[in-house]
A and B are shown apart, each in its own frame.
Chain A
Amino acid sequence: MDHMDDDIMTMFIEDTREHLGDIEACLMDMERDGEEIDEEVVNKVFRAAHSIKGGAGFLNLQNTRDLGHKLENVLHMIRSREIAPDTRVINILLGGFDRLRTLVELGPPGDAEDISGLLAELSGLAVEHLPEEKKADLARTVDIALPNGRTIFTEDRLSLEQAVAGGKLLYLVEYDLIHDVHARKKTPLDIFSAMEASGLILDCRMDLAAVGDLDAPPTNSIPLYVLFSTIVEPDVASYLFALDERRITPIHVETLLADAPPPAPDATPQAGADHAAAPAAGPATAPAAGPAAGPAEEAGGRFGPLALVMEDGVARLTTGPDQEADLSGADLAAALSACLTRGIGVRLDLSPGTEPGLDGLVALVSAARSFAARGLSLAHAGEVPAGLSAQAARAGFTARALAEAGVDGRLFGMS
């Protein structure tokens, strides 16, 4: 859908301005409330960070996505009362959102900005407030190996737990940049853009020694390993990665964590390590995006204004007659993810004015592919909401482009 990018970028910038319109006032309210948080205010700020992160992932704006993710982590911890929003915390968040706004306005050149200090500051804040058992998980590592036993990655337990939160799957993908990329007339950027649009790259490693030096004959192989989490099932992973199935190793995280040795008595976390605190980073654009489901979601009841009602083995996601345009993409993504994880089809019963925003549209595209891949239905119960189809048209969606992406245009009011 490359030809849509300019329209989507414009829409993303407009959406971001809207999300961040009164963010400073919300943050000041949070500081005033202190430990007695107003969940509605915190959720609003959280949704802003989450939505911007999702859109940035779709547009491959790495700095924006990374900063949105770190802000989202801290806000999740405030929401779950692991961090009290005192003056210091709010000042860091104010600085973070200010930088986020600047990065979005810059567009792709924003990726050249050095934001490592800010990311480290947000990570440090999150790590500082982690419960003791989670801090211990940061210090405990697990080896991830190819089927032949060769260890490729060593990751901490917390990162792995977060990588598969919300029913996501973890893969160790083995590319050869010469045979699998260059010979197929693709560039490494093509490969990473496709991966980042459908999941999260946890780690990446190249076998530099295999390349030789300038005196060696031109190399015939450049091995590249990627640790990748996604909602995509193994049977469609081969298609997603454009690789033979033998080059894609599903990683069974539960087994790995169960087999991992207990922590050493003196194990201590690395202060300031650039690890994400809870929640997991969802796929940048996939419906599993967002924090681990809260108690209400686990019970299958509500996702923001969306109610999940089971009818004849199919989930009806409804905004109710009174909800007009208050559905966020994050809520829609979380609800669709929950249904996908449970293996149930979905009928969307949304009010006519529903506008899911760019991240909601992206979540629907990702969900449509995933539901289809698993043989599950995803359709509207009645008419497609006018607000949704109008937003899709504004974003440059067309029936043809959707068909090329393997998505039924009727989901967006296009046939």
Chain B
Amino acid sequence: MNDMENGSAAVVLRPGRDIVASTVEGLRQEWKKALTPGVAALTVDLSDVEMIDSVGLGLLIATHNTLGKVGGKLRIAHACPDILGLLRTMRLDKHFILES
């Protein structure tokens, strides 16, 4: 289940499962619904996410691009060391806000 906490302008998404090709389309639809007009701050909480594949990275980048249109930033929280290392190696820490 993709838990969501929706404040007035900030949303926290908790996919709770790996972000990979087989889950991305469902997550994409849920995240689109969560990004209602006015939401400019979005946190993806990666607790319980052990793997992100290429398609999953595409979803994070697409989310970043959507937020960028309204001047928002994508925040990533609770990434496991492997995923955190991957995002840093790919220099995505220049685009996303990574919380250890």
Interface residues of A (CB under 8 A from B): 60, 62, 108-114, 177-178, 181-182, 187-189, 192, 196, 201, 203-206, 208-209, 211-216, 218-219, 222, 224
Contacts and interface: CB of A to CB of B under 8 A. Distances in A.
A192 B86 contact: yes
B58 A178 contact: yes
B81 A110 contact: yes
Contacts of B65: 208-209, 211-214
A260 to B, nearest CB: 23
Contact of A182 (B25, B55, B88, B90): B55
Given A114-B100, A187-B53, A189-B82, A211 B91 contact: no
Ranked nearest first, the 8 interchain pairs of A and B with the lowest CB-CB distance are A177-B54, A182-B54, A111-B81, A213-B66, A213-B65, A211-B61, A214-B66, A111-B85
B51 interface: yes
Contact of B58 (A110, A209, A215, A219): A219
Given A214-B63, A219-B62, A222-B58, A208 B95 contact: yes
Contacts of A187: 51-54
B75 interface: no
Contacts of A211: 58, 61-62, 65
B4 interface: no
Nearest to B93: A116
B57 interface: yes
Contacts of A209: 65
Query: What's the interface size class on B, roughly?
Result: 35 or more
A144 to B, nearest CB: 15
Interface of B: 21, 24-25, 28, 31-32, 35, 51-55, 57-58, 61-66, 69, 79-82, 84-86, 88-92, 95, 100
B21 A182 contact: yes
B93 to A, nearest CB: 10
Nearest to B59: A214
Contacts of B80: 112
A178 B57 CA distance: 10
B64 A208 contact: yes
A178 B54 contact: yes
Find the residue from A109, A205, A206 having the highest chain B CB count within 10 A.
Answer: A206
A60 B81 CA distance: 11
A108 B63 CA distance: 28
Find the residue from B28, B62, B64, B80 having the highest chain A CB count within 10 A.
Answer: B62
A214 B31 contact: yes
Nearest to B95: A208
A214 B35 contact: yes
Nearest to B78: A112
Given A178-B58, A208-B64, A213 B69 contact: yes
Contacts of B89: 62, 192, 196, 201, 204
B53 A215 contact: no
A211 B79 CA distance: 22
Contacts of A62: 85, 88-89
Contacts of A201: 89
